[in-house]
């Protein structure tokens, strides 16, 4: 169980948090430290990179290994759940990657998480176009955070143009009482490619033979330019949980989960939580034309990038037959976001062509004319359609596709982060259900 931790945060998105976190994870692992990882907020791509940075591979049935990364979401999870999930991570040090800017996300921010877990923050600062101003910002934040019970353990200066540039900022930080843990030069040669939902998945970079090289480059950069001992010593003990508090009860005892480059967005904290509560969880690959586990009593199709693999999915006959057989035998099937799309009649590709899918819901979705939908959701079940979970759920929506046809009974009545009504969401047809939302946890107000 994790004993101590530190949060790597930034002033904004693209400040360098991800590359720094991955480089530190790989560098500490190379030094022989027992490290684990976490991600602030609802991101489902970065944990896959955390796995890879720690040299973790899934075994044949994809049961989660030790040191798996976990999402810690202060909006969807109560403090006791956050503490429980954090301490379930193994190792001597838990490195938590922040989200967006330091305070962004309100209850889901890096600062709020630091308060709940009793952890210090290391701030990665993009210093392009700045000198002494960077130090002044860091000093002001250190004072503000201290008033809120959070320690700014130090800063990492990022994208430093010249040694003189970095030295000037370090001097001013020292004068203002802000520890500097290192200075990173511009790293244009370390490329972390993105696509419409964020970073290209670790799956895809590994398949292209690029992932380990990228992670080793990041580790070398951190080892050369940062004080790794000081970063290790900056960690503080985690605030312990008082009792186990899992995000959701298992929806079955034998749970089959789709898991590959098209269905890679399952939250690790859910799968591991179901295992801790006694369920057996195995994964299968629709892209490899696998059928779900034959005697599974629940099938979960997570989100991912099915829109990038439409022809493969349309020709995966064993997968299709297995899903149809399960539906005919009244096995509950739940899909979210990309998985929801695959449960429908078809998906319209970027060229306007409809590619047939499973046809288990009266739904057609489209990747033509993509438009971003993003935000936290409170999801109130209609008619207790998912009886294994609380009627009130918390989740997150992030997609560029949209439904062009959705006929049938809605699964949820949805609200946004502020409690404003969004309207009906998702579909349910007998034992088949799904929506665009990624569920994170049950009602945070209940034990």
Q: Spell out where 76-178 has E strands.
A: 93-97, 121-126, 152-160
Give the bridge partners for 34, in sequence order: none
Could you say which DSSP state residue 387 is in? Answer: T
Tell me how far the alpha carbon of residue 276 is from its chain's centroid: 20
Secondary structure (3-state) at 262 = coil
DSSP 307-373: GGSHHHHHT-HHHHHHHHHHHHTT--EEEETHHHHHHSSEEE-TTS-EEE---SSSEEEE-SS---E
CA distance 415 to 158: 38
Residue 338 tokens read as: 């990309």
For the chain, how big is the Rg over CA atoms in Å?
22
In angstroms, how far is the first alpha carbon of the chain from the final one? 22
Rounded Cα distance, 152 and 140, in Å: 11
Q: Exposed, middle or buried: residue 369 (CB in 10 Å: 0-12, 13-18, 19+)?
A: exposed
Q: Is 173 a catalytic residue?
A: no
In whole angstroms, give the CA distance from residue 322 to residue 34: 40
Task: Give the strand order in the sheet containing 402-406.
Answer: 354-356, 346-348, 363-366, 402-406
C-alpha distances in angstroms, 201 versus 9, 262, 283, 314? 21, 10, 18, 22
Tokens of 313: 């999915």
Report d(CA 24, CA 45) in Å as an integer.
Answer: 18
- Give the active site residue among 11, 27, 337, 347: 337
* Distances, alpha carbon 228 to alpha carbons 31, 38, 231, in Å: 10, 19, 5
Q: Which residues are part of the catalytic machinery?
A: 337
């Amino acid at each position: 169980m994790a004993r101590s931790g530190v949060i790597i945060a930034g002033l904004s998105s693209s400040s360098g948090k991800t590359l720094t976190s991955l480089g530190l994870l790989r560098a500490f692992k190379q030094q022989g430290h027992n490290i684990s990882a976490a991600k602030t907020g609802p991101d489902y791509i970065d944990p896959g990179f955390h796995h890879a940075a720690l040299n973790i591979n899934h075994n044949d049935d994809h049961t989660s290994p030790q040191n798996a990364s976990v999402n810690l979401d202060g909006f969807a999870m109560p403090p006791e759940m956050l503490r429980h999930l954090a301490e379930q991570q193994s190792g001597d040090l838990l490195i938590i990657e922040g989200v967006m800017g330091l305070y962004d996300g309100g209850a889901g921010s890096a600062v709020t998480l630091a308060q709940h877990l009793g952890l210090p923050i290391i701030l990665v600062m993009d210093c392009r176009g700045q000198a002494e101003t960077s130090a002044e910002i860091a000093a002001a934040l250190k004072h503000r955070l201290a008033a809120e019970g959070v320690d700014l353990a130090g800063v990492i200066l990022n994208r430093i143009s010249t040694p003189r540039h970095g030295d000037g900022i370090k001097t001013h930080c020292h004068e203002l009482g802000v520890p500097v843990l290192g200075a990173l030069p511009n790293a244009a040669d370390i490329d972390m490619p993105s696509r419409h939902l964020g970073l290209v998945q670790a799956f895809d970079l590994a398949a292209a033979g690029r992932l380990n090289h990228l992670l080793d480059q990041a580790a070398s950069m951190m080892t050369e330019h940062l004080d790794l001992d000081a970063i290790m010593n900056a960690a503080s003990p985690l605030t312990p949980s008082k009792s186990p508090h899992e995000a959701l009860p298992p929806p079955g005892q034998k749970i089959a989960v789709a898991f590959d480059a098209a269905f890679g967005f399952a939250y690790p904290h859910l799968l591991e939580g179901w295992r801790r509560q006694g369920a057996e969880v195995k994964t299968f690959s629709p892209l490899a034309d696998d059928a779900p586990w034959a005697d599974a009593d629940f099938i979960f199709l997570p989100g991912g990038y099915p829109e990038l693999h439409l022809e493969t999915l349309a020709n995966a006959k064993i997968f299709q037959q297995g899903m149809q057989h399960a539906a005919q035998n009244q096995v509950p099937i739940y899909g979210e976001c990309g998985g929801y799309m695959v449960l429908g009649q078809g998906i319209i590709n970027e060229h306007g062509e409809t590619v047939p899918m499973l046809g288990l819901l009266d739904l057609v979705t489209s990747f033509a004319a993509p438009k971003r939908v993003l935000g936290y959701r409170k999801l109130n079940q209609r008619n207790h359609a998912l009886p294994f979970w609380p009627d009130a759920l918390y989740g997150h929506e992030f997609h560029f596709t949209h439904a062009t046809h959705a006929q049938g009974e809605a699964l949820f009545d949805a609200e946004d982060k502020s409690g404003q009504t969004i309207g009906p969401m998702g579909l349910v047809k007998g034992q088949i259900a799904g929506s665009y939302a990624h569920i994170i946890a049950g009602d945070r107000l209940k034990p």
